[in-house]
A = this chain, B = another copy of it.
Amino acid sequence: MSQPFWRTSLSAVEPNKILIRGYRVQDLMGRCSFGDVIYLTFKGELPAGNEGRLIEMIVVSSTDHSFLAPSIDATRFVASGGVPLQAAVAAGILSLGDHHGGAIEQCAKLLQESVPAGRSAPEIVNDFRRRRQRIPGFGHPWHDRDPRTLTLIAKAKEWNLAGPCLELAHAIGAELGLPVNIDGVISGIISDMGISWHYGRAFFIIPRVVGLAAHAVEETTRERPFRAIDLNDIAYDGPPERDLP
Contact = CB atoms under 8 A, between A and B. Distances in A.
A160 interface: no
Contacts of A220: 198
Contacts of A244: 23, 27-28, 31-32, 46
Nearest to A102: B82
Contacts of A60: 25, 28-29, 32-34, 37
B147 A228 contact: no
A232 B6 CA distance: 9
Interface in A1-52: 1-13, 15-35, 37-38, 41-42, 44, 46
A234 B82 contact: no
A65 B3 CA distance: 17
A8 B218 contact: yes
For this chain, the copies found in one complex come to 4
A46 B228 CA distance: 29
A74 B66 contact: no
Contact of A147 (B25, B99, B142, B210): B25
Contacts of A5: 233, 235
A102 B80 contact: no
Contacts of A29: 57, 60-61, 148, 151-152
A228 B69 contact: yes
A242 interface: yes
A77 B1 CA distance: 15
A178 interface: no
Contacts of A64: 10-11, 18, 20, 41
Instruction: Name which of A22, A83, A242 has the most chain B CB atoms within 10 A of its CB.
Output: A83
Nearest to A10: B214
B234 A66 contact: yes
A223 B142 contact: no
20 contacts: A6-B76, A6-B229, A7-B236, A16-B144, A20-B64, A22-B239, A22-B241, A24-B147, A25-B61, A29-B152, A32-B60, A41-B210, A68-B228, A68-B234, A71-B81, A73-B228, A81-B102, A83-B86, A86-B201, A89-B202
